[in-house]
Amino acid sequence: MAYLIAFHWGWLLASLLLGLGMGWIAVVSRVRPVSSRWMLILSVLAAILVALALTRIVPGRFGYWLDLLLLMFVPYLVGCAIGSQLRDWVVRRTMPPV
């Protein structure tokens, strides 16, 4: 893990920034949100991928690419969460008192 982070820190930083941007936009975006059913499906898919990575079943380059994908997803999600939280805080501060 430490090796992957050290080797791909630039890409992980890019994922984090992408997540920050996406999270920032998501709070005020009019895009149609993913339904709960799809959210469940995607969560299960993610869990399966994580399980495959942890059990090291996927061999060779495919295994490495799976590890890299999951690793890049983490800063993306973290960035999204931070971005959304910040945007929500900014929006709340600028709203006129009711």
Partner 1 sequence: MRGLFRWSGKWWPGVVPLVLFWAIAAWNNTASVEADLGGKSAAAVKDIVLDKTRISVDGRDVTFAADAFSEDGRHGALIAVETVPGVRLVNDESRLVPEAKPFVWSAQREVARITLAGNAPLPAVRAKLMDVARDEVKGIEISDQMNLARGAPAHFEDAAVLLIGQISKLKDGKVAISDSGVTLSGMARELGGREAIAAALRNLPQGFSVSANDVRAPPYVFQANKDPVAVTLTLSGYVPDENVHAAILGSASRKFFSEKVVDNLKTSVGAPSGFVNAAIPALGVLSRLSTGTLVVSDREVKISGDALYEAAAAQIKAGLPKDFPRDFQVKADISVKPASAPVDATVCQQLFNDLLSKAKVRFLTGRATIDSDSAGLLDHLIETALRCPNANIEIAGHTDSDGEDAANQALSERRAQAVLDYFVKAGLPADRFTATGYGSSQPIASNDTDDGRAQNRRIEFLVR
61: three-class secondary structure by DSSP: helix
Q: Which one of residues 41, 44, 51, 84 is an interface residue with partner 1 (CB under 8 A)?
A: 84
* 19: Cβ contacts below 8 Å, ≥ 6 apart: 75, 76, 77, 78, 79, 80, 81, 82, 83
Residue 18 interacts with partner 1 (CB under 8 A): yes or no:
yes
79 neighbors 22 (Cβ within 8 angstroms)? yes
Looking at beta carbons only, is 33 or 97 nearer to partner 1? 33
Is the Cα torsion angle 51, 65, 10, 90 positive or negative in sign? negative
CA distance 20 to 83: 4
Looking at beta carbons only, is 37 or 97 nearer to partner 1? 37
Per-residue contact string for residues 46-75; x = within reach of partner 1 by CB under 8 A: ----------x--xxxxxxx-xxx--xx--
Question: Contact positions toward partner 1, by CB under 8 A?
Answer: 2-4, 7-8, 11, 14-15, 18-19, 21-23, 25-27, 29, 31, 33-35, 39, 56, 59-65, 67-69, 72-73, 76-77, 80-81, 84-85, 88
